[in-house]
Amino acid sequence: MKGAAQAAPFLLSMPARHSFIDQVLIAADEALRALSGAVTPGRPSPASTAPDGGDRHLAAGLMRVNHTGEICAQALYSGQALFARDGRVRAALQGAAAEERDHLAWCRTRLGELGSRPSLLDPLWYAGSFALGMASGLAGDRWSMGFLAETEAQVERHLEGHLDRLPVDDHRSRAIVSQMREDEGRHGSTGRALGGAELPPPVKAAMGLASKVMTRTAFYV
């Protein structure tokens, strides 16, 4: 009896068991959809009205990197949403994740147009990013939003680098990357507006290192 009384406050702070199981099932469904490519975009691809052209081999490598980045984004947001406490934070994560799904679908379609394929390491990156997303969600909403803001800031700089490297006449890939950069900037602002904490410099450096490993490997594998 005494034990139950002590456990009660903890149990009251937990989400209802069935709803947490529902959330886990949703997360599993999101993982399968992201990795299988069964993702329907909510917005038409910005590439659909742009002319094709440019060095296809280089573009395919860069778009494979961007596709893997979007796989990581799906996994991060999915893991973070699982433990978001504030309803506004959960809604922001879900809103951003919907736009990330567009990015994922656009990159995958473009890869196909370029005669290429997603990275073979995507399942590994999904698993690692999901674990990181859960850890950041468990750390609390302020850290979770700070992690989101820093992730998006790094992605925005990365996409700017890709706009420098993509062939100038590959208008289709460039249209996708430009729209992604715009969306990521907005996601980062949302994280800051929801009280995201500034991450310690070593954490930012570790995130930068992990993304460097991802971008180097996904270009080739």
Give the nearer residue to Fe ion in terms of CB position, either 57 or 165.
165
Q: Which is nearer to Fe ion, 30 or 184 (CB)?
A: 184
For Fe ion, the closer of residues 53 and 143 by Cβ is 143
Tell me which residues touch Fe ion (CB under 5 A): 73, 100, 103, 184, 187
CB of 79 vs Fe ion, minimal distance in Å: 14
> Shortest gap between Cβ of 13 and Fe ion (angstroms)?
30
Q: Which is nearer to Fe ion, 82 or 176 (CB)?
A: 176
- DSSP calls for 88-149: HHHHHHHHHHHHHHHHHHHHHHHHHHTT----TTHHHHHHHHHHHHHHHHHT-HHHHHHHHH
> CA 221 to CA 212: how far, in whole Å?
14
DSSP state of 39: -
96: which 2 tokens? Answer: 């951003």
The whole-angstrom separation of Cα 118 and Cα 68 is 7
For Fe ion, which is the closer residue by CB, 73 or 177?
73
Distance CA 199, CA 141 (A): 13
Q: How far is the CB of 187 from Fe ion (least distance, A)?
A: 4
Angle at CA of residue 148, ends 143 and 153, nearest 5°: 125
Largest CA distance in the chain: 73
Q: C-beta of 157: minimal distance to Fe ion in Å?
A: 13
Q: Name the residue nearer to Fe ion (CB basis): 19 or 40.
A: 40
| 36, 123, 138 from 31: Cα distances, Å | 8, 9, 19
Task: Kindly state the smallest distance separating residue 65's Cβ from Fe ion, in Å.
Answer: 12
Question: Shortest gap between Cβ of 148 and Fe ion (angstroms)?
Answer: 8
